[in-house]
Chains A and B, each alone.
Chain A
Amino acid sequence: MIPGKYRSVSGRATNNVNCGLHLVIQTSSLPEKNKVEFKLNKDTPSFPGRLLQHDLERNYSSRQGDHINLVSSSMPSFPILQRSSEEKILYSDRLTLERQKLTVCPIIDGEEHLRLLNFQHNFITRIQNISNLQRLIFLDLYDNQIEEISGLSTLRSLRVLLLGKNRIKKISNLENLKSLDVLDLHGNQITKIENVNHLCDLRVLNLARNLLSHVDNLNGLDSLTELNLRHNQITFVRDVDNLPCLQRLFLSFNNISSFDNVSCLADSTSLSDITFDGNPIAQESWYKHTILQNMMQLRQLDMKRITEEERRMASILAKKEEEKKRENQKQSLLKEKKRLTINNVARKWDLQQRVANIVTAQDRKDSDSPSQDPCQIDGSHISASPEETGSLDSGLTSALQGLSVIDSHLVELDGDTLSLYGSGALESLDRNWSAQTAGMVTTVSFTFIEFDEIVQVLPKLKIKFPNSLHLKFRETNLVMLQQFNALAQLRRIDQLTIDPQGNPVVNFTLWKYYVLFRLSHFSMQKINGTEVTQNDMIMAERLFGILAHVASSELPQYRLISILGDARKKQFRYLLETKGKKPGIVNEENNDSKRLIGENTNRATLNYTTRDFYNERLEEIKEKKKFCKMYIEDLVKEATEINMKNEALQKLWPQMFIELVRDAVIEIRNKNSYMKLCLQQITDQK
């Protein structure tokens, strides 16, 4: 028999999800008028996947059923099917046993030419007794109760196997069906795609309404054109790029939520039609353009044609997303780096503080007599002998040096805030800041830097960042009220924030008032976030006003000049050091200092010199002191010598006077000889 030609044509899309499937079976051996066409049209309704239809039934005469006799056989469960010879001749290659209330497959005798067998809408639980129908091409077991695919191993010619709406749990026993063209397993309980890899002629695979949770193991299906996976629980899809002919893929009503889970679709060149509706991914804002961008070969998405406009929008949006992601990545990298650097700086600061504590404690120990002072250094180093503390010290300093290899400071300019972490950051003030960026900076924040070091760069700060109005200090070792005096040299401060962390000065009751008093010419608005009230100012003035009065009016003139002179000298020294000094700036400096002094002479003498400078100065003065001491000593020696001589003279004078008189009188006793003596003396003199 000439095998029939089977042609399947994909149906048109309709509004519903149903797609049409035309299966045409032609048998050329029959005479013309017996050609029967089966159009299996899925246009109707309720049941997607129902292949056989009204039309088909119409093609049949209902009389066919009449001609089937189901005769009970010797085997109790299997009826034997017999058809009248008329029927056999008329429809020799097809047999319809629809809605026959069959619970088992009957034994079909003498129908070895059968090519189409229809068992739709029965109650069959097992596929049996059809092994002899080795010419079978079309087997329809739709809507039965089959639990397992079996009994098909002899049907090597089978092309269409319809097992929809059964109770099949596993795809198996299809090994010999190598010619299979259409495999319909919709409406079952299949959880896994397996054992289909040998079906290289398969064109349509329907696994809708099953229990699949993922899609893979599709290699080998080299002819697959349509894959229906609607109404499953699929979360990710793999292997689709191994299907060289796949054109239509229906994934509606599954559980796909991200494109990464179906990324293999992007690699499939043959796909032209895909549906994702009913998945969580379809609710996302980026759904459409991500799909479009990743699957350029698509022609229809969710049953709608993709227009050029849409494609363009998709690519633009995708590019924007990409950029945003890159930006975010960069930002997070920067943030991470910043965090690490700050941690590093903090650790270094900590070590420094501890070393400093040990050193000062040691000093104190050395300089104290056996006194009652207990030295407390964080409780841990009290009883250390000098050698021990020495070694501990070196251990810490070596750790300190080790740290400095990594980034040890951080400078961050963020709009209007300049943040400096670590003492190395102070050098950044030397950089060439553009006038615009520098002008925008209103807040400068110092962290993990010794206040004494900050003091030295304040003149630079004043010049480079003229608009800085708000200063913040954290972990800067502010311990004395006196240190605030150093801030007076700035041009202007509106707000001051001293973080309690690392600044012991905040623990003092009077620190705010002192700041307000010393820096009253700035008319500060806020200190540590709280507004400055008139009462605060008055209180500050009240508390420290006398100090100012004393400092200005009771100092002798030369002291005033020398103290003020010092401050001015420092400013000029800095100016001379900066390169590119403009005469304008110098004048401004003069005006500034003059104005300052005009406003606040009484406070200007309250200065702060860092400890190191102070000690330096004292060292310098030592020489002078030594000289002065020696000089005065010499003077005193002279004076005492003169005094002694004077006293001695006082004592001896009477005696000497008497002797002088006596000598004179003795001389004059003999007038003549005296006259001769005098004349001689005069001639001698000549």
Chain B
Amino acid sequence: MLSPERLALPDYEYLAQRHVLTYMEDAVCQLLENKEDISQYGIARFFTEYFNSVCQGTHILFREFSFIQATPHNRASFLRAFWRCFRTVGKNGDLLTMKEYHCLLQLLCPDFPLELTQKAARIVLMDDAMDCLMSFSDFLFAFQIQFYYSEFLDSVAAIYQDLLSGKNPNTVIVPTSSSGQHRQRQVLGEASMEGVEASLFYQCLENLCDRHKYSCPPPALVKEVLSNVQRLTFYGFLVALSKHHGINQALGALPDKGDLMHGPSLDEELERLVVRSRLHRTFAAHRAKEKQGLWLSEEETSPEALERVPSASVPHSTPY
């Protein structure tokens, strides 16, 4: 903690880099908004809870988009929250459209902009057929890249455009050899040659990473991605980014693809919820029957008894 680098930075910069001020401001703002409720149980406790939730990553739930986007930690927490809440959707195997994923996002953040979701969908679908269905994992990883590194990606897109139109003064564009290209869709409808040369691209990206204020993926990993191919298109690059394990781990928000559906503690919780809801329904139905004057013995009506035979209750014709 008391490392020399820390002391080397001037005050404001240090605070800004760690986004401390953002959280402080937000905390005070929340305090102001809810002062009647919070004053009941003490300001100290409020601050404790607030920063605890920041640590746990639950502070972004149901908050406005400007807050969620404010810091990388917020973005990562949001991604994690989204994953946890809707993992079951993915587990179920449903393929959803871009609009539906956007709806799910909106459940957690009411004013989440549609453009981001659209851009994420473009990565998955390779800018083709925007109404296509996507799987949860595909969408999630693409969304991660798009959301977490959105500013970086915008700059990359600009660079790519420049390269395509040959504006980069540094090098000569090697004319096309469109063989050896494994990914293939349209690239922004322009050039006759597909994509740009990987090494050239990487040089520009390196420059970008150095001078970028925003977060960007670790350059080493970017190099790894680019070293595998000769040429690549913009979306090809993005897809490769999204599928790269290393980058995912560097982000630290989501588990590996294989473990995406896996979450034992949450699963247990889910089972409990499901059983409880089932019981609740049959119990409510029994209670309704009782009200109609049908006689039921006491043991039958107790919830514990129902709990004992949850599976047996299913084959009964449920009365509704």
Which A residues are within 8 Å of any B CB, using their own CB?
Answer: 364, 368-369, 372-373, 480-482, 504-505, 507-510, 520, 523, 525, 532-534, 537-539, 541-551, 554-559, 561-563, 565, 605-606, 609, 614, 618, 621, 624-625, 627-629, 631-632, 635-636, 639-640, 643-644
* Nearest A residue (CB) for B278: A538
Shortest C-beta distance, A613 to chain B (Å), equals 10
Closest chain A residue, CB of each to CB of B318? A534
Q: Given that A480-B103, A541-B273 are known contacts, is A554 also in contact with B88, CB under 8 Å in the complex?
A: no
Assess the B61–A551 pair: CB atoms within 8 A.
yes
Given contacts A372-B188, A563-B62, A632-B25, contact A547 B32 (CB under 8 A): no
Contact B320 A532 (CB under 8 A): yes
B278 near A509: Cβ-Cβ < 8 Å = no
Please name all residues of chain A whose beta carbon is closer than 8 Å to the beta carbon of B32 when the two chains form the complex: 624, 627-628
A545 CA to B92 CA, complexed, in Å:
13
Cα A368 to Cα B50 in complex, Å, equals: 35
Task: Tell me whether B290 is interfacial, beta carbon within 8 Å.
Answer: no
B58 in contact (CB, < 8 A): yes
User: What per-residue 1/0 map shows which CB atoms of B79-101 lie under 8 Å from chain A?
Assistant: 00100111111001011110110
Q: What would 6 more interface pairs be, CB under 8 Å, given A533-B318, A556-B59?
A: A373-B115, A508-B99, A509-B100, A542-B92, A558-B49, A561-B34
Taking the complex as formed, is B305 at the interface, i.e. its CB lies under 8 A from any CB of chain A?
no
Q: Does any Cβ of A come within 8 Å of B110's Cβ? A: yes
Alpha-carbon gap, A520 to B278, bound state (A): 11
Residue of B nearest to A610 (CB): B110
Name the one of A373, A618, A632 contacting B24, with C-beta atoms under 8 angstroms.
A632
A-B contact pairs, 30 of them (CB 8 A): A372-B127, A480-B103, A480-B106, A507-B99, A508-B99, A509-B94, A509-B95, A509-B100, A523-B281, A534-B278, A534-B281, A537-B278, A538-B274, A538-B278, A542-B270, A543-B89, A545-B88, A545-B274, A547-B85, A549-B273, A555-B53, A555-B58, A558-B30, A559-B61, A562-B34, A605-B62, A614-B111, A618-B111, A624-B32, A627-B32
Bound Cα distance A550, B269 (Å): 11
> Chain B residues with Cβ under 8 A from A643's Cβ?
11
Min CB–CB distance A566 → chain B (angstroms): 10
Q: Which of B28, B37, B56 contacts A558 (CB 8 A)?
A: B37
Taking the nearest CB of chain B, how far is it from the CB of A508, in angstroms? 5
A550-B28 in contact (CB<8A) = no
| Interface footprint category on B | 35 or more
B interface residues (Cβ-Cβ under 8 A, vs A): 11-12, 15, 21, 24-26, 28-30, 32-34, 37-38, 41, 46, 49-50, 52-53, 56, 58-59, 61-62, 64, 81, 84-89, 92, 94-97, 99-100, 103-104, 106-107, 110-111, 115, 118, 122, 127, 154, 188, 266, 269-270, 273-274, 277-278, 281, 284, 314, 318, 320
Which residue, of A481, A606, A609, A643, has the highest number of chain B Cβ atoms within 10 A? A481
Shortest Cβ distance from B291 into chain A, in angstroms? 14
Contact B106 A525, beta carbon cutoff 8 Å: no
* A23 to B: closest C-beta gap in Å: 90
If A554-B56, A629-B25, A636-B11 touch, whether A537 touches B277 (CB-CB below 8 Å) is yes
A372 to B106, CA, bound (A): 23
Contacts of A545 in B (CB 8 A): 88, 269-270, 273-274, 277
- Output the least CB separation between A537 and chain B (Å): 6
Partner of B88 from the list A482, A546, A605, A606 (CB cut-off 8 Å) is A546
Q: Are B118 and A373 in contact (CB under 8 A)?
A: yes
Q: Is the CB of B107 within 8 A of A614?
A: no
Query: How near does chain A come to B99, taking the closest CB pair, in angstroms?
Result: 7
User: With a CB–CB cut-off of 8 A, which chain A residues contact B274?
Assistant: 538, 541-542, 545
